[in-house]
Chain A
């Protein structure tokens, strides 16, 4: 009987053809694969050739950085005037109070450095006690920041928030906006999907109201209208008002980003956790949110990046954030005419922060991908 069965023989695996692997093959296939592809590649190279060398000449090779006033720049107009950024560096980063009180400049520097020191280990996968570090960053750090930057205790002179400016202000607004809007947004997203009609209606109303109002309007309201509702003696801080406005606005956007993630979770996940006897909060915290937040990382980070850039709208209520500070510095008598350098610097700082957030979110997505969804 058995002699009629032929034995199954496995063909051994072979290497792919050498013309399809390696650097050169990649270039040939991806950059010069078809006629259209080749034309696009060449056109693109030509555009780079046209614009990149002159820009590099201006920004780097012919640029001025020496000296401490505009005389060097005025002599050599063919290059950028980084001298301006160098001389006004403290002002651009920390605002007028710290720029004019050099003995106090250690305060914002310490505050931002501490942030970097706590944040950096969080970015690496192998760091132990990550949860505790994150907790410190979200709770102890803000207290430390106020204590050291605002001052008022232990002989540290008060730096009024109205005097905060530059990157320091941008950072403070974005930090508060992001840290408070995420939990608020998660609660709103859960509320919008709640079985209870009252909670659902409240969440929908909140989200649609704040999402339908421009941030500029909200900042105006926070700055002009809000004081009208308080007795004349009570005047609470302009920066705090901006922070509240930004947080309320941002939480509506975050809520919608999180809702997108919640909707993508299969109903079976809820059913399986219900069937195990897990109550609403337990299944939300352990089963639904971890998956939903993972899916919504790109959308959430997108709203955070938007928020980070939107903080520059506070200039409308008279606060000097990084962008406005660059503008006003380059319009001062000493540096009038060098606003391109100011804008480029501000733009670069914004870009670096946003690109950092974006890269981290991509890394996080890959790390949390236990289902092999992304390549």
Chain B
């Protein structure tokens, strides 16, 4: 219900966009990866982006925290436009959490230190405060007992949950997920998805690049399908899965749902 009204953005003072992307274009050398992307994400909205590999979906969310630099168009995150200003970029990054396909935990630091480093050095929290917050969030992702271990001693699913906790420790306003379950064994996908569902229920704004269509169906307010660097189609999950409007979407869905 909320999703339909949110995407229409009828009452601006109630539901304001936290991310506004306007005519975004990006090239890797001569390769045109993103073409005229327009996207608005509202507070508490959950967006799932899917599409074949090479469609530009990862690049798109990596542009939102400037892990990739775009060449044309504007990206405004929480009222601040992304430019070359390093200070502004770091401010936006500290407000936008990201979870990666390969976890990217810091292997030389314990789980707890992974979670407290940025709060201490970016948010200027005291060690005590940061420890408390980290333990609270590690409890939320159900691995408080692993706090003193190193990432290498954990299973893939546990590592990804630590990565989620690490991002949450910065108390971000938006969370980006770049194929968070693609590198996991089937038995571990479930525990990570459950954590993400709980996070979604708590009201976090989320943009998730994933092939987990069950997750999309359950959590997403909007599903976006990308191909060849373009947004081909976006809709609420029910309509997206049941009556796709584009033949390209139809082909994609038939391929991933029938394998």
CB of B108 within 8 A of CB of A370, answer yes
CB of A286 within 8 A of CB of B121, answer yes
CB of A275 within 8 A of CB of B107, answer no
CB of B93 within 8 A of CB of A277, answer yes
A294–B102 CA distance with the chains assembled, in angstroms: 22
Interface size class of A (residues with CB under 8 A): 20 to 34
B112 interface hit (Cβ, 8 Å): no
CB of B102 within 8 A of CB of A278, answer no
Of chain B, the residue at the smallest CB distance from A279 is B90
B215 interface hit (Cβ, 8 Å): no
- Residue from A278, A290, A372 in contact with B118 in the complex, judged by beta carbons closer than 8 Å: A278
CB of A268 within 8 A of CB of B104, answer yes
CB of A286 within 8 A of CB of B107, answer no
Interface size class of B (residues with CB under 8 A): 20 to 34
A277–B86 CA distance with the chains assembled, in angstroms: 10
Q: Which B157-171 residues have a C-beta within 8 angstroms of A?
A: 163, 166-167, 170
A123 interface hit (Cβ, 8 Å): no
CB of A294 within 8 A of CB of B170, answer no
B60 interface hit (Cβ, 8 Å): no
Q: Smallest Cβ distance from A257 to chain B, in angstroms? A: 19
CB of B108 within 8 A of CB of A277, answer no
Of chain B, the residue at the smallest CB distance from A282 is B121
A287 interface hit (Cβ, 8 Å): yes
CB of A287 within 8 A of CB of B106, answer yes
A272–B98 CA distance with the chains assembled, in angstroms: 8
Q: Is the interface of A mostly helix, strand, loop or mixed?
A: helix
B226 interface hit (Cβ, 8 Å): no
A289–B53 CA distance with the chains assembled, in angstroms: 33
CB of B108 within 8 A of CB of A276, answer no
A277-B94 contact in complex given A271-B100, A286-B121, C-beta closer than 8 Å: yes
- Residue from B97, B102, B105, B117 in contact with A275 in the complex, judged by beta carbons closer than 8 Å: B97
B197 interface hit (Cβ, 8 Å): no
- Type the 1/0 row for B138-171, where 1 means its CB is closer than 8 Å to any CB of A: 0000000000001010000000000100110010
A276-B117 contact in complex given A269-B106, A291-B107, C-beta closer than 8 Å: yes
A273–B100 CA distance with the chains assembled, in angstroms: 12
Of chain A, the residue at the smallest CB distance from B113 is A286
A290–B106 CA distance with the chains assembled, in angstroms: 10
A294–B107 CA distance with the chains assembled, in angstroms: 12
* List of B residues within 8 angstroms of A277 by Cβ: 90-91, 93-95, 118, 122, 170
Interface residues of B, Cβ cutoff 8 Å to A: 65, 67, 86, 90-91, 93-98, 100, 102, 104-108, 117-118, 121-122, 150, 152, 163, 166-167, 170
Going nearest first, the 6 A-B pairs with the smallest beta carbon separation are A277-B94, A272-B104, A268-B104, A276-B118, A275-B98, A277-B93
